[in-house]
Structure formats: C-alpha cells, structure tokens
Amino acid sequence: MSDNPSLRTPSQRIAWTITIVISTLVFIFLITPILAIMPLSFSSGSYLTYPLPGLSLRWYDDFINSPRWMNSLKNSMIIGVASTLLSMVLGTLAALGLAQWKSRFKPLVLAFVLSPVVVPGVITAVGLYFFFAPIGLTGSYLGLILAHTALATPFVVITVGATLQSFDTNLARAAASLGASPLDAFRRVILPLILPGLASGALFAFATSFDEVVIVLFMAGPEQRTLPREMFSGIRENISPTITAAAVILTTVSVILLAALEGLRRRNERLKGSSA
Amino acid sequence: MTAASLTGIDAQTEVPLKRRLKRAERARQIKALALVVPLLLFLLFTFASPIAGMLWRAVDDREVRQVLPQTVTALANWDGKDLPDEKAYAALASDILAARASGTVAIAAKRLNYALNGFRTILTSTARSLKAAPEPGTARETLGKINPAWRERATWTTIKDASGPVTGFYLLAALDLTRNADGAIVAAAPDQAIYRGVFARTFLISFSVTALCLILGFPVAYLLATLPPGRSNLLMIFVLLPFWTSLLVRTCAWIVLLQSKGVVNDSLHWLGIIDEPLRLIYNRFGVCVAMTHVLLPFMILPLYSSMKAISPAYMRAAASLGAPPLIAFLRIYLPQTLPGIGAGSLLVFILALGYYITPALVGGAADQMISYFIALYTTETANWGLASALGAVLLLATILLALVYGKLVQGQQVTGGMKN
C-alpha cells in the first residue's frame, strides 16, 4: 500500500485500506456476472448451475446449427456494418464542418446532433415505429440501418470531433499553399492524421448498433431479428445454455472492439509522446 | 520607399483586402455548414420527425371526427346542458349506417371507450341493431330504444369531447387527470389513475440506482485516480469490460446468478447461510442490482476524470497547514469532485429513467418503469394516444435533466480551461 504518497497517519492508512476493500468488492461485482456466465456455455448438461457435470461444445454446436441464431448473427453483422459505414460518412463530414463553423447557433446544432444518445430508447423506437410503418420501412433492413445510424452518428461526431480539436489546422493550410486541392489535402494530409479518431468512431458506431435491442424490438420483422433481439426472446421464454453460448460470442466481439480501441489509444499516446 | 508611401499603399488596399477576407471567411463558413447539413437532414428524417410525430399523436384526436362527421358537426353548437336535439340523433344514425358499411365503427368505438368505459358496446350494439335510417323525426326514439345510453347526457358529452381535432385527453390521462361532464379538470377514477404511481416508481428506482452507483463508484474512482497510471490502467479493464459487454449478456448473467437455483443462492446454501433459496430476482432487488451493474461505469468514468484533474498539491498544502486528513478531504478534496459527482449522477439518472430492457427481463409486474407502459400501449393494446402522451412526459423530464447536465458539463469545461 505504499503507492499512495500521502499516507502518513494511521487514520489515513485505514481510510486507504477501506477504499481498497470497497473497490475490490465493486470490481468483483462488476466482473463476476460476465465471468460466471462463460463457463456455463461449455457445460455438457442443460442446467445453468454449478458445478458443471462435464465439458462439451454442444451448445456452440447448437448455436451454429440453428438457422434462427445464425440468421440473427448475420443480421447483426449486416445492420452493424451498414449503419457504421453510413454514420461514418455523415458523422465525419459533420465533425469536419462543425470544427470550422463559427456561429452562436453551434451549441444548439451540437445539442441536436447529440440528442439521439440522451433520448430514451423507447421514445425513439415508438416514434420510428409510427413514422416508418406507413412508408414501409418497418420490417425492413433499410429501416433498421437508418435508425441505428441515427443512434450511432453522435459517437462518430464526438470521437472525430475530439481528434480534430487536437489537429493542427496549419498542416491543411500548408498543403493548400503547396498547391494541393481541398480533396487532395483531405485525402493525403488530414485523413492519415485523423484516421485513429475515425477508427474509434467506427468502433463506437458498430458497438452501438450491435448492442441495440429496443428499436429492433419495435421495428424488426421475423426476418431482421438481430442477435440481442434473439437473446431477448430467449431470456423471456426459457434460458437455455445456447443463450450463454450466444452471450460468449457477443462478449468476444465486445472484447475485440475494446482491445482495438485500447490499441488505438496507446498508439495515439505513443505518437504524441514521440512528437513532444 | 518611404514610410509615407508604404502607408499610402496600405490605405489604398486596406478596404478591398478586408472585404476580400470577409468574403473568403463567409465562403468558408458556408462550406463548413454545408458539411453539417447532410447529417442534419438525415436526423430530421430518422429522429426529429418521428419524435415530433409521436408528440403530435399525444394530442391528435381525429378518429371520431372521421367516423362520425355529421354527428360532430351537429354537436358543434350543442351547449351540453340537456340532451342534444333530434338533428344530432338523425346525424348519428346516418353516420353509424355509413360507418358500418365502410367497416370503421370499431375505430370510433375504441377511442370513445377510452373516455367512457362501455362505450364500445353501446356503439357496436347500435350499429348491429340499426337496420335502416329512422323515419324523419323518430331518430331519438329509435336510438333510445336500441340502447338506453343514448338517453343519457354523458354519452353525448363523451362524443363531443372526443370530436377533436386536438385533445388534451391523453396528456391529462398520463397525469391521472380527466375532464368531468362539465369540462372541469378532475382526478381520474381510481382504477385508471395508475400513471402517477408509475412515474413515482420510475423516479424512485432511478434515484436508488443513482445513489447505489455513487456509493459504489466513488471509492473506485478515487482509487483509480490515485494509483499510478500503470496500475490504474490495468484496473480500468474491470470498469471498461462490463461497459462494453452487451446489455443483454449482462442482464442474462444476472438471471443466471440470482435465480432460485442460481450461483448466489447455491453458494449461500453451500456456506450454510441459508436453507431456503432467497428470492433475488423478478423483484425490485433484482432490478436495482442489474441496473446498478449496467450503469456503474457511467458514474465511475466522469468521477474519475474529475478526480484526475485535482492536483495532489492541494491536499499536501492542506496537510502542511495543519488540516487533519478527514477535514482536508471534506473541505478541500470533496468540493472539487462535486462537478464530477453532479455530472455522473445526472447521467446515470437520465439513462435510468428511460430503462426498459432490464426491468422487463429481471423485474416483476410491480417493478416495471414508464418505458414498459409506453411499449405496452404501442404494441399490445395499440392505445397510441396514451403511449405518446406518456412518452411526451418522459421526454420532457429527460430534456430538462439533460439541459441541467449540459450546463454542468459546460461549466466544468470553462473552469477547467481557466485553471490551465
């Protein structure tokens, strides 16, 4: 416990010990559910209890051979990738514009752009359900992609915007003064520099769509059910170990996304360190 | 060149240059705005319009007007004191015959039934029994014979109240209020007055979860902000991994842990602490535990960044000036974390208010929050007016809290900038 420099008196040491004890308990609280569910997916029995009767891959086998689960995984990927691409285009353009735009209306516009994050999911879902049904966009991939793009774009605007804030605009001016067209300057000077920011924006956007379930619940037909949507019905009806296999697959995707994001952050810090 | 000629050249070019710069700047601003416009248009279509449409549905009241147009016209000048005149009865009979032919009776019956329980039966039975248009002058008698409800004033005031095109009916109902036969706003009948209770429950659950997150999150944020970066980055994984794990996975995990034959009950039984499994899920306890788990990172992260910004020099200064550690903590450290506490608490509270999935999966019937009722009235009973009105109230609460949050975070950024 010597890493806290200001521990001089016994009472401070007690307070620090209490902090560590409570924090440890909270860390256990945070991580146990995720760790507890994983081994169950490798159980050979069909009850979700410990101790496991034996190990097997039967529930993964079940997942892979179930058209319902595989279709939902495919749908999650289609909708996730499409809404990520769309939100990247819209969000990056908007972030570039917002970085240069000076107006007293800017906070208002920014609040509007970010509002899909704050508005409760059910409200967005009900609104979209009423609005998209008459124009045939419920029960369609397009409708879900548009809706998820609306939810994901704020994250792109935030992450790309944060990267642009640390971007030296003189570089763009230098490119222009050396004769680069705006498109060339963007492609060869700005883009490589903000690429890590774009990548984190894309990860956030994909994670948003991949995890979203309320809008899917209202708008998806049986053909467009995503993985979280399928899990929702599974949990409601009866929790079979196949759900834990699905949970492990979902968590693996999250861990990959998180690791990618952490890698980007480290790379960024390293670059900043070397330039200083 | 002399100094005078230099200034002379400057004076000549100054005005056009200024104007040119201004023009260039304006062009730049227009270009910048043009980059934002696609997203604004997109959000207008996929976000703002749908929500505006939902808000409109909370006051929209055109069903009765569409199905019973002549009746609505005939009742326009009715003072509501006595029964309406023969003309209104004849109009109603003619409307009902037309509605039966086009199969729209149920639309009006459903709307009128919201306002007066049993109206559905009155209207459908009348539509079934009315064979042909009554002889001139006998409409009142004919309808009264088919269903005596047509001899009551309340039946007619219900139609008049529902004649639209806009109504406060659903918004009042969302607040457990209604209009009586004289048009005064009064408390709704006890069996329909459930929404204030639901809103109170929603606020109570959100508040409990926020308090739990603060109590659990504060020590963790303090630890992470105090430890050297290498270790705190490692421990941060414990916060970020749950944060990135799917909501469904975490909710499912809590069911596995807390169910009667779940991991927690089994462990407690094995340890000899309990004989009978405890009821830990499908009740308020389960909802609060699962929601706290999901929302805790949203508390820890803002707290962490506000604590990270506090210079350790302040605490050292307090100690060197003779402040005991507790006093130094309470008077120097804690006040500086207040903006972080405020931001984290508001964020968690706002997010908790709109929760739907977690209570739906781990809560009992008495733990469902307002979002559940909005979803229920949208998809199950298709009472879209009431769903929209409840949504409007929730949206208003969210926006007000989000404005406070925005002010708080903005203020933090300003003071943060000044300190640097």
Q: What is the pLDDT of residues B158-182, one digit of tens each?
A: 898 898 889 999 999 999 998 877 7
State the helix-helix crossing angle for A67-100 and A227-237, rounded to 10 degrees: 130
pLDDT at A84: 97
Note whether A127 contacts B248, CB cutoff 8 Å. no
Q: Rounded to a whole number, what is the distance in Å from the CA of B54 to chain A's nearest CA?
A: 5
With an 8 Å Cβ cutoff, is B19 touching chain A?
Answer: no
Quick one: which H or E segment has residue B178? strand B177-179
A-interface mutation test, from B37, B41, B42, B47, most A Cβ less than 10 A away: B47
pLDDT at B420: 30
What does the block give as tokens for A141? 């991939």
Note whether B257 contacts A130, CB cutoff 8 Å. no
For residues B162 and B170, give the distance between their C-alpha atoms in angstroms, rounded to a whole number: 11
> Exposed, middle or buried, B259 (CB in 10 Å: 0-12/13-18/19+)?
buried
pTM value?
0.88
pLDDT at B411: 66
B345, B214 contact by CB (below 8 A) = yes
Per-residue pLDDT of A222-232, as tens digits, reads 889 999 999 99
Q: Give a three-class secondary structure readout of chain A.
A: CCCCCCCCCHHHHHHHHHHHHHHHHHHHHHHHHHHHHHHHCCECCCCCCCCCCCECCHHHHHHHHCHHHHHHHHHHHHHHHHHHHHHHHHHHHHHHHHHHCCCCCHHHHHHHHHHHHHCCHHHHHHHHHHHHCCCCCCCCHHHHHHHHHHHHHHHHHHHHHHHHHCCCHHHHHHHHHCCCCHHHHHHHHHHHHHHHHHHHHHHHHHHHHHHCCHHHHHHCCHHHCCHHHHHHHHHHHCCCHHHHHHHHHHHHHHHHHHHHHHHHHHHHHHHHHHHC
For residues A167 and A189, give the distance between their C-alpha atoms in angstroms, rounded to a whole number: 11
Note whether A239 contacts B252, CB cutoff 8 Å. yes
pLDDT at A226: 95
With an 8 Å Cβ cutoff, is B220 touching chain A?
Answer: yes
What does the block give as tokens for B333? 């450290």
pLDDT at A274: 56
Note whether B266 contacts A23, CB cutoff 8 Å. no
More confidently predicted of B39 and B309: B39
- Cα angle B58, A123, B198; round to 5: 75
Where are the strands (E) in B4-55, listed by range?
none
Q: Rounded to a whole number, what is the distance in Å from the CA of B366 to chain A's nearest CA?
A: 17
Quick one: which H or E segment has residue B186? strand B185-187
Note whether A93 contacts B38, CB cutoff 8 Å. yes
Look at strands B185-187 and B177-179 and give their pairing. Answer: antiparallel
A120, B392 contact by CB (below 8 A) = no
For residues B369 and B386, give the distance between their C-alpha atoms in angstroms, rounded to a whole number: 15
Q: Give the helix ranges, DSSP H, for B68-178.
A: 69-75, 86-102, 105-115, 119-129, 139-146, 153-161, 169-174
Identity of the residue in A34, A112, A218 whose CB atom sits nearest the CB atom of B242:
A34
For residues B361 and B251, give the distance between their C-alpha atoms in angstroms, rounded to a whole number: 7
A29 contacts in chain B (CB < 8 Å)? 216, 293
**Nearest residue in A to B247, CA atom:** A211
With an 8 Å Cβ cutoff, is B197 touching chain A?
Answer: no
For residues A18 and B30, give the distance between their C-alpha atoms in angstroms, rounded to a whole number: 57
Identity of the residue in A12, A111, A124 whose CB atom sits nearest the CB atom of B47:
A124
Note whether A247 contacts B244, CB cutoff 8 Å. no
* Contacting B residues, span 246-275, partner chain A, CB-CB under 8 Å: 246-257, 259, 261-263, 266
Indicate the range of B250-264, B308-322, B379-393, B400-414 predicted with least confidence. B400-414
**Nearest residue in B to A99, CA atom:** B32
What count of CB pairs under 8 Å joins A to B? 270
B47, pLDDT greater than 60:
yes
pLDDT at A2: 42
pLDDT at B413: 56
DSSP reduced 3-state for B185: strand
Bridge partner list, A55: A43
**Residues sharing a CB contact under 8 Å with residue B142, sequence separation 6 or more, in sequence order:** B89, B93, B130, B134
Note whether A6 contacts B316, CB cutoff 8 Å. yes
pLDDT at A273: 61
Identity of the residue in B37, B241, B266 whose CB atom sits nearest the CB atom of A34:
B241
For residues A101 and A107, give the distance between their C-alpha atoms in angstroms, rounded to a whole number: 11
**Residues sharing a CB contact under 8 Å with residue A256, sequence separation 6 or more, in sequence order:** none
B415, pLDDT greater than 50:
no
Note whether B29 contacts A118, CB cutoff 8 Å. no
Q: What is the dihedral of CA B268, A250, B240, A153, to 10 degrees?
A: -140
A111 contacts in chain B (CB < 8 Å)? 406
Low-confidence ranges of chain A (pLDDT < 70): 1-8, 272-276
More confidently predicted of A10 and B19: B19
For residues A117 and A246, give the distance between their C-alpha atoms in angstroms, rounded to a whole number: 26
Instruction: Report the 10 Å Cβ neighbour count for B308.
Output: 14
* ipTM of the complex model: 0.89
B131, pLDDT greater than 60:
yes
B12, pLDDT greater than 70:
no
* Amino acid letter for position B357: I
Mean pLDDT on B278-288: 92
**Residues sharing a CB contact under 8 Å with residue A149, sequence separation 6 or more, in sequence order:** A83, A86, A87, A90, B42, B46
> Exposed, middle or buried, A188 (CB in 10 Å: 0-12/13-18/19+)?
exposed
Instruction: Report the 10 Å Cβ neighbour count for B113.
Output: 19
* Contacting B residues, span 343-372, partner chain A, CB-CB under 8 Å: 350, 353-357, 361, 371
Of chain B, the percentage scoring pLDDT greater than 90 comes to 47
B43, pLDDT greater than 60:
yes
